[in-house]
Amino acid sequence: MRRILLASLLLSSQAVLAESFSECPSRAFLTQGAIAATYGVNLVTGDYGLLQDNMATKSKVNATGFNPNDNFLYGWGYEKQKPVRIHNDFTVEYLEVANLIDGSGFYVGDVSLTNNTYYVYRKGSDYGLFGISLDENSENYMSMEKVIDGSSLSLRIFDMAFHPSNGFAYSVDKTGVLHRIDVESGTSESLGSTGESGTFGAVYFDVDENLYISRNSDGKIFKVDVGSGNYAAQLFALGPSSSINDGARCALAPVSDVSDVNIDFGDAPESYGTYLKDNGARHGLTDNNTLYLGSNVDGESDGKPMPLSDDESDSNDDEDGVQFATTLQSGDTAVIIVEASSDGILSGWLDSDQNGTFDADEQIIIDKSVVAGKQPVYVEVPAGASAGSTWARFRLSSTASVGANGGVSDGEVEDYNVNITVEGSAVNYYPSSSGWTTVAFEDNWPYEGDYDMNDLVTYLRTSVYRTNGEVTAINIKGELAAVGANYHNGFGIRLPDILRDQINEEDISYTINDRPVIADYSPLEAGRHEAIFILAYNTWSYVSAGEDCLFYRTEAGCGSNVQMRFNLTIPFKTPVESDIAGVFDPFLFATPGAWHGSHFDSPPGRSYEIHLKNQHATEAFDYSLMNGSGQDASDPAAKHFYQTTKGMPWALELGNRWQYPKEYRDVTHAYPQFPSFVRSEGLENPSWYTFNNAVESILFKD
Amino acid sequence: MKKLITMLSLTVLLTACGGGGDSETSTSANADGDTTTVGANPDTETPLQENTADLESSADFDFATSRSIAIDFDVAAARTTPGLMSVCSDYSKTDDIYDINYDSCTLQAPLVNGIYSGAMEVTNDINVVVGVVWFKDSSIEPVYKEFALELGARLAGRGAGAQKLVWR
């Protein structure tokens, strides 16, 4: 019974049914993302699964609500700034309504069960509370009627939900106060504090008068027993976090556990057999789980292949039982270190031909007995294995002859994204094989900014592959951690002393959030002499600020998961002698066509760049801009670049996954050892940027 | 219980700052008619507070967060049996047993007749690394060598070049 319910909710992206839901489902629906996707959330466990990532819209959908009167979801579609009806395949249908008001989007909304009307709300005198009747017999059918303006009814709320029977809508504001809204009169009453504050972007009711509120920044779901009058929020489950959230649920359904989370799935991409529907590798978990890889294992109700892996989205990364003590050389021996919780049988596969499946002849570990603790396992990488990025799967259980797919009753599966190298290849990792470094920018060059060093923050990791001392390939992984800027900026990386001609352009691999970037897009900048890679022309195209926030991940209370991760593999045509190392030459540039301050008569675009101190610009830069304007003291003849008259930088590299200051806060206040580092020219406090040297309360927290 | 108290006190803190945030300018995203007290600072900080805008640096100081370390390995044990080398920074040693976190490696390379020569870039917060050589012959135990690292700025101050890690 449970399996059937689950399978019916796993719809492919090609579903063409345009119908209402056939029932009032128990799970809640959560719509997220700058490009809308809908997840089903099991409120009992917090477990969630993607239901649809192609909702037939290029933009956000918010203010969603479930209408038990017709069993459709309704929401506000940002692409056309109109209300939408959402079908059971989660695609949107724009509704033509009379008296549609102009302007930007609503993020608070729900459908009233009692009067069959879709209500949307936004604070501010330009907006307010509006109702769109969904009742064909009403004279206001499909007409947007204002109930009251958003100044008379002024609430800092981010979603609302209608009670199952009393006709009121409820919400919790940013300070944690529970409000009851009368949608007929447009008035509200504060009922009391729930004791939890934050942006509750998704709220839901169940039939027992419990209100569930999901906090954007950390994904925590709290339960408030509205019916009892005791409004203290109780932590109920951990769900997904996002800067843009909206929740809808059929309030008439009881909350019950409709899926089985006592299973461990893998998270390799879908083709490897990860989903239940593809007979993905899975292991049963018992209450008293004793057999697993590494230090823990967490369950999922279904596979979550990358890029949806819960190892990325929840705070529990259980991929920790296997480490690579040597490189994986094609046709050669390699050593992996396996940690098992207790004795068991281990098997492993390596997709050496990179065809997206674990084939029988790619099994590199066959029923090897392992003991509790860490041990080396020697494997042979198949001869002819293609060099490059691929996947490996390891399965531990008490059963022998386990295949790459299918279920077993105990143990754990762990999938790893690995790199196969050619024979004799060495790799330099920076800062380490799993670590991150950070580049942080102020974007107002040639003028000093506020030194919050978060106008653009990128985490980076580089890998340089060499054979016989010459570079054969470079990999750059990155995450867009913060955009605390009004300007539209791009981000690029130049490979110092490497020429464009030396790059094997057609074999470059560039993925964003583990999806290949559109075909025919080469991040290797055209028309240049040097090897310059444009990771993003406009960082604002990939991230969103979130409800009631100006910036991406810099303001208090405006947290979300990292929204843009990239992975760039750069093969060389022939090996090149080069001592290239570290973070290379990362730079910020002005988005072409975008205003970058009144200092420039016209948008400076690519001719405007900011680099680390004393790093010269790329060939695209207009050096006539270095004319002593503002506080800039660049002096190309003396090889001084991007420094103020006091020698201070516009860009810094920090050798860790840096926790940057909140918006408008000074980096020196957040990291008090910085001044002595500067005055001693690096002799004192070289680790000034580490977390244990920070004033935690000044840092941004996601 | 502890969590509830913390959340309540956070709520009080937020209210004291004018609700929802502690930014100091009127263009803050949280300001919508709430009063913000300029200079109000609930953070614990040292009394003498500098601002970055007041700091001065020499024109040549590059604010480096890492330094290059040279590698000169000629591992005797790996001259006759092929060795696979890693250099990693996170490890512990109990009695004579090394427990290495291979997620913290800065360099991994096969040795050629026991030799590897090159360099690696290491961040300022790392003071020690361990080199390990595994052998393709599983009957031979791996060999290890620890290295203490010097700070790049200190070496530069002496006019010395990059530190070289030597393993014979």
Residue A587 sits in the same domain as residue A477? yes
Is residue A424 exposed (0-12), middle (13-18) or buried (19+ Cβ within 10 Å)? middle
Residue A408 sits in the same domain as residue A458? no
What is the arithmetic mean of pLDDT over B8-22? 36
- Of the ranges A19-23, A215-219, B149-153, which is most confident? B149-153
Contacts A–B by Cβ distance under 8 A? 259
Phi, psi of A572 (to 5 degrees): -100, 150
Is the predicted pLDDT of residue A534 greater than 50, yes or no? yes
CA dihedral A331, A332, A333, A334 (to 10 degrees): -80
Q: CA of B23: how far to CAs of A270, A457, A684, B34, in Å?
A: 44, 19, 31, 12
The beta-carbon neighbor of B86 closest among A325, A376, A647 is: A325
Q: Where in chain B is the domain with CATH 2.60.40?
A: 66-167
Residue A671 within a domain: no
Please report which confidence band the pLDDT of residue B17 belongs to, taking 50, 70 and 90 as the band edges. very low
Q: What is the ipTM of this complex?
A: 0.75
> Of A423, A441, A474, which one is at a domain's C-terminal end?
A423
Gap between the Cα atoms of A456 and A473, Å rounded: 27
Predicted local distance difference test score (pLDDT) of residue A514: 79
Residue A329 sits in the same domain as residue A455? no
Residue A501 sits in the same domain as residue A364? no
CB contact under 8 A, B29 and A549: yes
Please report which confidence band the pLDDT of residue B6 belongs to, taking 50, 70 and 90 as the band edges. very low
| pLDDT tens-digit readout, A283-331 | 877 666 789 999 877 766 566 666 555 555 444 466 789 999 999 999 9
Residue A667 within a domain: no
Judge whether A679 is closer than 8 Å to chain B, CB to CB.
yes
Q: Which domain covers residue A267, as residue numbers?
A: 263-423
Residue A409 sits in the same domain as residue A437? no
Closest to A173 measured CA to CA, from A603, A698, A426, A547: A547
> Of A248, A281, A301, which one is at a domain's C-terminal end?
A248
Cβ-based contacts of B152 with chain A (< 8 Å):
682
The beta-carbon neighbor of A429 closest among B22, B105, B157 is: B105
Architecture label for domain B66-167 = Sandwich (2.60)
Residue A130 sits in the same domain as residue A227? yes
Rounded to the nearest integer, the mean pLDDT of chain A is 88
What is the arithmetic mean of pLDDT over A613-627? 97
Judge whether B11 is closer than 8 Å to chain A, CB to CB.
yes
**H or E stretch covering B7:** helix B2-16
CB contact under 8 A, A683 and B105: no
Judge whether A373 is closer than 8 Å to chain B, CB to CB.
no
Predicted local distance difference test score (pLDDT) of residue A465: 96
- Counting the structural domains of chain A, the total is 3
Cβ-based contacts of A653 with chain B (< 8 Å):
63-66
Gap between the Cα atoms of A550 and A662, Å rounded: 13
**H or E stretch covering B154:** helix B152-157
Mutation choice for B interface testing from A323, A428, A658, A666 by most B CBs within 10 A: A428
Residue A699 within a domain: no
Is the predicted pLDDT of residue A6 greater than 60, yes or no? no
Cβ-based contacts of B65 with chain A (< 8 Å):
437, 652-655, 689
Is the predicted pLDDT of residue B35 greater than 60, yes or no? no
Q: Determine contact, residues A427/A580, Cβ cutoff 8 Å.
A: no
Those residues whose C-beta lies under 8 Å from the C-beta of residue A178, and which sit 6 or more positions away, are A170, A171, A172, A190, A191, A192, A193, A194, A211, A224, A226, A231
Cβ-based contacts of A485 with chain B (< 8 Å):
none
Percent of residues, chain A, with pLDDT higher than 70: 91
Q: CA of A553: how far to CAs of A458, A653, A687, in Å?
A: 12, 19, 24
What is the arithmetic mean of pLDDT over A11-21? 52
What 3-state class would DSSP assign to A136? coil
Residue A126 within a domain: yes
Please report which confidence band the pLDDT of residue A257 belongs to, taking 50, 70 and 90 as the band edges. low
Tell which B residues from 57 to 86 touch A, by Cβ distance under 8 Å.
57-66, 68, 84, 86
Predicted local distance difference test score (pLDDT) of residue B22: 32
Q: Which residue of B has its CA nearest to A377?
A: B138
Predicted local distance difference test score (pLDDT) of residue A121: 95
